[in-house]
């Protein structure tokens, strides 16, 4: 039996505080996302449910060691940041993973996000990257918090399943990825480099993507092992960063599928560690 | 010389009303979007500027026949729907284009959006489609208004440069596209059809995309000439509709580039009109 707690219970206050700040922890909402977190190696500490929440989800949460509490209907809509009210919210603890740990988890594909400010774009990129076989994403140089509510939601749970490093220096990230055997590629505006489908994206590769407004800083562009461009027609000047990253992730998967190594574990083994810096 | 009008001027009231409703007309904001509208064959009726607006833009608007008015700083932030206040807003009249006109403007690529409810996704799709050489988009069966403020902004001006039909019946849209010589392809969830890179997307093709929540209705899926799927790995169950559409648009462009016919005008000529329905 689970207690019904009031809107002034410390857990509810904590949830409200976490919904406002977006620091070391993050609240997340919705039955699907809570289930995703329970499936992933993410320690879910507390789960707060209203009446519409599936009972089996609460049983699973309790079985996984989370404290489960109930509140009256409408309390969560007031304390969480979701636009569409959800009948359940959870508080989970995310691990801060260093760049070298993320780099070794990349498998065939990683994202390096540099100064990416929009959480919706970041989450969308995580979702595309996971669907294309990526194992890791590194958030660098003032990028949005990957564990913030908007990014978690836009990722549709991918943020739980990828190995994510945050608050990383881009130079450190590229060094770690190079040491783990990944080539790093910067996307540049058309025309500015070889077309993405003429570049080998089937090898283990890290895709560096910059901010919506400013692209990649010069310091990063100088440290990658290569550049790619996405040829365009029409009068569009650029693609949304999430769309550009999605095109590149799926071209990487397409090239791997053609070689019969689509999955993370099928990917070519990383080269020996100790590569020189790009 | 341009008059300074008060916040109670009829134009400002009209702008506020258009920002709330999203019907036959739409207000749009930002110097870049206003310039895009002036570049495109979109009749801009009125332009309202604050101090930060570039003077040459106002000269161009006046030269194009628009009535230009000035308001005190801060008025536009109160009447328009933008999150980031912009120093200029415009009222433009959009033409309602029938499905057959849009179909004949498609060139190598068109979008058929069926019940697509999110204006950000719709705008992003228009931006990707234009960058990949599409000439037209048909908004069907309860899809969002392509000329609503959020869609226009997410399209980064592409909505002005594509031929856009709205409030179209999906069956009529597919009939018109078939008559114009385009094959129509529905996207289905993996695994459910041939992989998108094994399907001929270099021929003139219309990509049918469904709603975020429900996908394509059965009636539409039964009327297309074929299906495609985007193979995925990882535990992601689906892609965001804007990402899926972007992957398909750019695969279409990639295949056309390989054949040396990337551009709209380079595309294979449509087949003779009068094709049977798919």
B14 by Cβ neighbours in 10 Å (0-12 / 13-18 / 19+) ranks as middle
β-bridge mates for residue B137, sequence order: B111, B164
Contacts with B240 from chain A: Cβ below 8 Å? 124, 127, 156
Chain A interface includes B156 (CB < 8 A): yes
What would the pLDDT profile of A185-203 be if each residue is shown by its tens digit? Answer: 998 876 678 999 999 999 9
Q: Do B243 and A240 touch (CB under 8 A)?
A: no
What would the pLDDT profile of A147-176 be if each residue is shown by its tens digit? Answer: 888 898 899 889 989 999 998 999 999 999
What gap in Å lies between CA A207 and CA B98, rounded to an integer? Answer: 42
Q: What angle do CA B171, B174, B177 make, to 5 degrees?
A: 150
Question: Are A126 and A155 spatial neighbours (Cβ–Cβ below 8 Å)?
Answer: yes
**B32 to chain A: closest CA residue:** A237
Chain B interface includes A131 (CB < 8 A): yes
Using DSSP's 3-state secondary structure scheme, residue A166 falls into strand
Closest CA to B162 of B114, B209, B97, B247: B97
Chain A interface includes B266 (CB < 8 A): no
* Structure confidence at residue A57 (pLDDT): 87
Query: CA of B262, closest CA in chain A: separation in Å?
Result: 7
Chain A interface includes B247 (CB < 8 A): yes
Nearest CB partner across the interface for B234, out of A120, A161, A232: A161
Closest CA to A122 of A139, A105, A103: A139
Closest CA to A253 of B127, B48, B229: B229
What percent of chain A has a predicted confidence (pLDDT) above 70?
Answer: 85
What percent of chain A has a predicted confidence (pLDDT) above 90?
Answer: 44
- CA of A112: how far to CAs of A93, A116, A121, A211, B122, in Å? 23, 10, 13, 11, 27
Contacts with A136 from chain B: Cβ below 8 Å? none
Chain B interface includes A25 (CB < 8 A): no
Nearest CB partner across the interface for B231, out of A134, A251, A257: A257
Chain B interface includes A100 (CB < 8 A): no
Chain A interface includes B37 (CB < 8 A): no
What gap in Å lies between CA B122 and CA B137, rounded to an integer? Answer: 10
Is the pLDDT at A10 greater than 60, yes or no? Answer: yes
Nearest CB partner across the interface for A239, out of B131, B235, B262: B131
What gap in Å lies between CA A133 and CA A130, rounded to an integer? Answer: 5
Considering only A35-39, A67-71, B67-71, which range has the smallest mean pLDDT? A35-39
**B126 to chain A: closest CA residue:** A236
* Structure confidence at residue A267 (pLDDT): 42
* Structure confidence at residue B112 (pLDDT): 97
Chain A interface includes B132 (CB < 8 A): yes
Most confident of A33-42, A147-156, A244-253: A244-253
Look-up of token digits 């505006």 = A189
Contacts with B236 from chain A: Cβ below 8 Å? 127, 130-131, 156, 158
Asked if the bond preceding A77 is cis, omega within 30° of 0, the reply is no
Computed over every residue of chain A, the mean pLDDT equals 83
**A123 to chain B: closest CA residue:** B240
Q: Which site among A40, A197, A234 would you substitute to test the B interface, given the most B Cβ atoms closer than 10 Å to its Cβ? A: A234
**A255 to chain B: closest CA residue:** B197
Question: Are B252 and B200 spatial neighbours (Cβ–Cβ below 8 Å)?
Answer: no
Q: At what angle do helices A241-258 and A119-131 cross, to 10 degrees?
A: 10
Most confident of A47-51, A179-183, B215-219: A179-183
A218 by Cβ neighbours in 10 Å (0-12 / 13-18 / 19+) ranks as exposed
Contacts with A250 from chain B: Cβ below 8 Å? 230, 247
Tens digit of each residue's pLDDT, chain B (278 residues): 466 777 777 777 777 777 664 433 344 457 777 787 777 767 788 888 888 888 888 888 888 888 888 888 888 887 776 656 678 888 877 767 899 999 999 999 999 999 999 999 999 999 999 999 999 999 999 999 998 888 988 998 899 899 999 989 999 999 999 999 999 999 887 667 899 999 999 999 999 999 877 888 888 888 999 999 999 997 777 888 999 999 999 999 999 999 987 665 444 433 332 222 22
* Pairing verdict, β B183-188 and B163-168: unpaired
Asked if the bond preceding A134 is cis, omega within 30° of 0, the reply is no
* Structure confidence at residue A3 (pLDDT): 66
Using DSSP's 3-state secondary structure scheme, residue A277 falls into coil
**B107 to chain A: closest CA residue:** A234
pLDDT band at A212 (very low <50, low <70, confident <90, very high): confident
Q: Do B158 and A234 touch (CB under 8 A)?
A: yes
Q: Do B263 and A233 touch (CB under 8 A)?
A: yes
Contacts with B124 from chain A: Cβ below 8 Å? 240, 242-243
């Amino acid at each position: 039996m689970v207690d019904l707690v009031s809107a002034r219970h410390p857990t509810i206050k904590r949830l409200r505080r976490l919904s406002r700040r977006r620091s070391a922890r993050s609240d997340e909402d919705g039955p699907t996302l809570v289930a995703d977190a329970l499936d992933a190696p993410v320690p879910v500490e507390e789960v707060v449910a209203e009446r519409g929440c599936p009972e089996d989800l609460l049983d699973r949460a309790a079985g996984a060691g989370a404290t489960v509490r109930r509140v009256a209907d409408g309390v969560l809509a007031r304390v969480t940041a979701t636009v569409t009210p959800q009948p359940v919210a959870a508080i989970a603890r995310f691990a801060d993973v260093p760049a070298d740990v993320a780099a070794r988890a990349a498998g065939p594909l990683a994202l390096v996000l540099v100064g990416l400010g929009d959480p919706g774009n970041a989450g969308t990129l995580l979702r595309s990257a996971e669907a294309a076989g990526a194992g890791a994403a590194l958030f660098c140089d003032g990028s949005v918090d990957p564990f913030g509510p908007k990014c978690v939601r836009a990722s549709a749970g991918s943020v739980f399943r990828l190995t994510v490093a945050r608050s990383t220096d881009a130079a450190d990230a590229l060094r770690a990825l190079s040491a783990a055997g990944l080539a790093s590629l910067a996307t540049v505006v058309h025309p500015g480099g070889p077309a993405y489908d003429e570049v080998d994206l089937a090898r283990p590769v890290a895709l560096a993507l910059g901010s919506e407004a400013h692209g990649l800083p010069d310091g990063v562009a100088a440290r990658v092992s290569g550049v790619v461009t996405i040829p365009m027609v029409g009068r569009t000047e650029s693609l949304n960063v999430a769309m550009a990253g999605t095109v590149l992730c799926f071209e990487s998967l397409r090239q791997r599928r053609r070689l019969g190594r689509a999955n993370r574990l099928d990917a070519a083994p990383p080269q020996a560690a100790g590569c020189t810096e790009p």
